Structures are given as structure tokens and as C-alpha cells.
Structure 1
Amino acid sequence: MPRSPDAVVRWLKDHGKQLLPDAIFLSLLHRKQIGRFPKLFRPTTFNEKILQRSLRPDPRYGALADKLAVRDYVRAKVGEKHLVPLISAPTVFTREVFDTLPNSFVMKANHGSSFVEVVRDKSQRTFENLQLLASQWMSTDFYKNARERHYRQIQPRIFFEDLLLDERGQIPADYKVHCFGGRPGRPMMFIVVISDRFGNNTRGDVYDAQWNHLDVGIGPYARSATPPPPPENLELILETAAVLSEDFNYVRVDLYAPNNNVYFGELTFTPGAGVVPMRPDRVDFEWGRLLT
């Protein structure tokens, strides 16, 4: 069936982008998302320094951005109790694997962002449906999305974890702890709390380590009109993030904290691929000064 003229134009644009060198691709993407061209050789803003990391990643980033391989690092740093229980990490997702899964679980892929499928009731899903989704994930070269070069080191793989729920039976909030090291004692930390991530009222609130609700917005999330109180285990969240970040001058440590526990989510060295709008814009420069 012949393509429409609009479809042909979109195809040419998409394939033309893939031919651009990484630095040019990232500069254009930064201009589109942030509103200015980045200074890649002498970066000053947070986003610019993250772009520089994407182009020249630390050799450690690949293994630690791998959501399966990083479990060994977390286990050595803070212990098994902070890992979400792993159900299965098959080399191939087959019907036999599906049949052995419990009634509720989370299916993930290890090689990028947003490869997450929550299954609350397995009887309402089919193997074919999940296999199709897994195949789409496995065929995605995440590096091509935003040229984060360390993702090229990761061999894609599907895995299954326990479904974490809070005391209300809901998906727990995601605590994204931005840790700026390079100074004595604990790193400077800012906590971005993403609530109702899989619902219809997703919110993103930014706090400092003393749980002051900051007038800051990051990415597409709206702030809560009435921010929630600090979690009872805030100190454990901060301590866990501090230990997991101590080997780096900056890393974002993602954690979950249901029912007074703390579970590891991921380590992110190039959050938002360095093209995330920050509101007000001065925060991009302030965080850039913290990332030494």
C-alpha cells in the first residue's frame, strides 16, 4: 500500500535525523526542547553538562545503567533488602516463562527508560500481548533516541519483578534523588517526587533534603497544589541515596519507599538526556554550578 505524502515526509525526517553526527543531533534537540543551542565544549548549565556526559560517558556508566547488572552494585553497597525481588530474567520470553509468573508482577527491559509494564491481574493479560510488547522493547536501540552513548554497551533483556504496592494498594511514588557530590559529607540532594505515575493525575514535586517544597518544575509534570508531607522514612531514603551515589560527582538515584521500606529503582547518569526544560530557567544554571 503506497504511503501518503505526509507519511513519506515523516519517514524522511526520521531517517535523516539518524544520519546526523551525535553532537549536531544533540545540539538541535537541545535547541528544540530548551530554547537555546548548548555549549558542548564549555558547558555551564546542568543540561549542557549532561549532554557532555552523553557524548563522553564514564566507562562505568554502561554496566550501572543496565537495570539487571546494577543489582550487583546495589547489593554490595546497601544490601539485598533494598532490591525489588526479582522473579525471572529469562534469556527468551516464552509461554513457559509466562505460565510460571505469579498473578501480579512488573515486566521491564534493562536497556533504557520507560520500558515498564505493570500487571496487576495476569488473568486479564495474554502471553501474546506481553510478548509483542517485549519484542518491541528488544528491537529498540535506546541509544538512537537521544544519543546517550553508554546505552550502546547494554545487551537488551526482559525481566520480571515483584509488584510493589503501598498501604493503599497503589503504585508507590517514585523518589528521584539528584545527588551532587564532590564535597565533604553528604552530597547536595534534591528530591523529585513523581506521584500517580501510571494514573491520570501524575504530579512532579521538587524538594530539598529538608523537605522544603521548591518552586521548581522539571520536565512535563505539574506541581501538586497541596504537597504531601514527608515520608516517615525520609532519612533512610536520603541515606540510601547518599551511599549509592558516593562514587560519583553526580548521579540520580531512583528509589521507592512503600510501607516504610526503601527499594532501589535505577541509577541515571544522564537524566532526561540533557534536554529537559527546568522552570524557572535559572535552575538549569544553578544545578550546573553544582555539577563540578
Structure 2
Amino acid sequence: MIAGRESQVLNRSGISREPLSEPRGVRSILAEAVVPRLGRINSERLQFLHKLGYLPHLQRPRNLNEKICAMKLFADLPAAPMLADKAAVRDYVARVAGEKYLNELYQIADRAEDIDWARLPNAFAARTTHGSGMNVLVRDKSREDLGACQSRLSNFLRRRYGRLTNEWWYSRIKPRIVIERFLADEKFELPRSYNFYCFHGRVQFIRLVDHVKNEAPDFYDRDWNMREFYFARMPRGPHVAPPSRLGEMIEIAEALAGELEFVRVDLFRPNDERVVFNEMTLAPGAGWDRIEPRGASEYIGSFW
């Protein structure tokens, strides 16, 4: 089922170095003025303190948060730009897991002005290659202001995503627009995301995220036993039964994770049918998400 797993897995390496930033405004000003003056390490320490309430141990990280932040600053992972690039990663997924797990691709555009709107179907999803959360979902093209969509995508392309958060790999990605099939879900409106936390190529924890309700239940282990861990910033959803084809999804996630020390692999199951790749995330929440209860971050980080 998983194509070329032996020869195509990543080794521990997968990144390079340097940062990027977000939209114009306060965050952009901080990224361009404060971060260069403080330096990446001091900036990371101060932002970690602001988000989590204590200074991190970056040289000898003790928990998941600190290990993610240390990775951002010190890890040598040359493949990171490719894995984070929403266009380039498609070739990797096709090679390692199989083309059948990719969402249908309509267009890739260097500029919003280059999008051929007439050739697109009535519903589609557009996102930029060089960041996270820069999406435009169109459910009915005939009722949509395509000029506003184009303007929004143009603004996304100008963002220097990741500079303030020290996710330097986004600066190595050419900003482009990827337009794919709109994935609808009859029960949940949008398909829920299965987030697989992989350590040294093995799935240890899974989170199921409802993007419509913006809620997630606690973590599950790979056998779908509920663990009492949760992100403080997101409401906790109800416990749910394990999905069908869970074993297949774990196999896909582990194939894509390869030998990386840590990566999160996100998959969709629209209408609880086929498995569709979403993205690979090297630094979830930039390492600044508070995990409750106390001690949970240390436990999760121990698998790293």
C-alpha cells in the first residue's frame, strides 16, 4: 500500500536556516525591527516567556515545547522547506505514500493575477505554499466575489510568514498559490483533520480537530486510547469512536515521517471515506501552545 517506503524515507536531516514573517502591522513590525535586534535566540526566549510564562531551556530542552523551539533554532534539517511547501510536498507524498492520497490539483499560480478562474470548477480551495492558515475556500464560484478572492491571495503572497516565530524554512519557499479540490463533508461541513504526532518515524499520539467548531478532543494514543492531554487554547470536544482505516492512516503518517525526530502529519477523511493528505508541520503552534495538565508536555516530549 505504501509505495517506496524503504528507499524514499527521509533521514534525520531535513532543514537549513533563517526566518520569515506575517502580515503588515504589529506582528510584521516586531519581526522586522525587534527580532533582528534581539537575535533569534533572545527573541525565542522572550516570546516563549510571553506565551507560556517561563523561560525555556533551549540548550537542554526538557519538554515538547522546548524541544520544538530548540529545533527551530539549532536543528540541521535540509528537507524542511520541501516538507513545508504546499506544492513541493506533493511530489514527496506521491513518491513515498502514493499519488492516490493527494487531493486533486487544479492549478498552481505564481501570482493571483495568473489564476484562470474560468477553468476552475464551481467549488475549490486555494492556499499559499509558504505558510499556514492562508486559505481561501470557495463553495460556489457563481456567488463569490472573485476579485476579492484575488486580492486576498495577493496579500497572502506578500506575507513573510514565519519570521516572527523563527520558522525560518518558510523563507526558503517560493510563494505560490495551490488550488485544489474543495473537500466537503456531509456530516461536518468541512472534513475533520487527523493530526498524527510522529517521533522518530513512529506515530505516538493523534488529535482529531473539528475546523468548523474549532474544537479538539484530548490526545489519543496510536491504539485510540484517550489520553488526558489537551491544548489550553482550544475547547475540548467529545470523545469519539476510532475511525475506520486508522491503521492505514498510521502507516501513511509513519511513511511520510521517515526518520525525522519529530513531525506532525495531517490527514483528512472526508465523509469517512478516502484518506487525503493535508500537510506536514514541523513546529506545531511554533512550540508555544500550552499543553494541559501540568507535566503533559514533558511526557509527550519524552518520545523525542
TM-score normalized with structure 1 length: 0.88
Distance 2:29 2:266 in 1: 37
1:45 counterpart residue number: 63
**Aligned twin of 1:189:** 204
Q: Does 1:220 align with 2:237?
A: no
Task: Please give the per-residue CA displacement for 1:98-119, whole angstroms capped at 9, x wherever unaligned.
Answer: 2221100101011111112211
Distance 1:10 1:61 in 2: 23
Could you list the runs of 5+ residues in structure 2 that have no partner in the other structure? Answer: 1-24
The more displaced of 132-141 and 8-17 is 8-17
Shift of 1:13: 6.1
- Count of matched residue positions in the alignment of Structure 1 and Structure 2: 276
Which residue in 1 is equivalent to 2:269?
A: 257
Call closer, same or farther: CA 1:84–1:211 in 2, change over 3 Å.
same
Contact 1:237–1:257 (CA<8 Å) still a contact in 2? Answer: no
Checking the alignment, whether the CA contact within 8 Å between 2:192 and 2:268 is kept in structure 1 is yes
Separation in 1 of the partners of 2:26 and 2:186? 50
Please give the alpha-carbon distance, in whole angstroms, between the structure 1 residues aligned to 2:240 and 2:79. Answer: 36
Residue deviations 1:197-256 (CA, integer Å, cap 9, x gap): 1x3x221122111112222112521111x3221111211111111111123121100100
1:66–1:111: 8 Å Cα contact kept in structure 2? yes
**2:174 aligned partner:** 155
Question: In structure 2, what residue type is equivalent to 1:191?
Answer: I
The whole-number CA distance in structure 2 between the counterparts of 1:150 and 1:144 is 9
Kindly state the Cα deviation for residue 15 of structure 1 after the two structures are TM-superposed.
5.6
- Residues 1-292 of structure 1: pairs in structure 2 closer than 5 A: 16-19=33-36, 20-57=38-75, 58-94=77-113, 97-168=116-187, 170-181=189-200, 187-195=202-210, 197=211, 199=212, 201-205=213-217, 206-224=219-237, 226-258=238-270, 259-291=272-304
C-alpha displacement of 1:94: 2.5
State the TM-score, normalizing by the size of structure 2. Answer: 0.85
Secondary structure of the 2:279 match is strand
CA 1:15–1:251 in 2, change beyond 3 Å: closer, same or farther? closer
Q: Secondary structure at the match of 2:136?
A: strand
> What amino acid does structure 2 have at the position aligned with 1:56?
F
Q: What is the CA–CA distance in structure 1 between the aligned matches of 2:132 and 2:286, rounded to whole Å?
A: 10
Percent identical pairs in the alignment equals 32
Q: Could you tell me how far 1:17 is from its partner in structure 2?
A: 2.5
| 2:137/2:182 contact within 8 Å kept | yes
Give the match for residue 9 of structure 2. none
The change in CA–CA distance for 1:93 and 1:241 in structure 2 (over 3 A counts) is: same
**Which range moves more in the overlay, 247-256 or 10-19?**
10-19
Distance 1:242 1:55 in 2: 25
What code does the residue aligned with 1:242 have? E
RMSD: 2.1
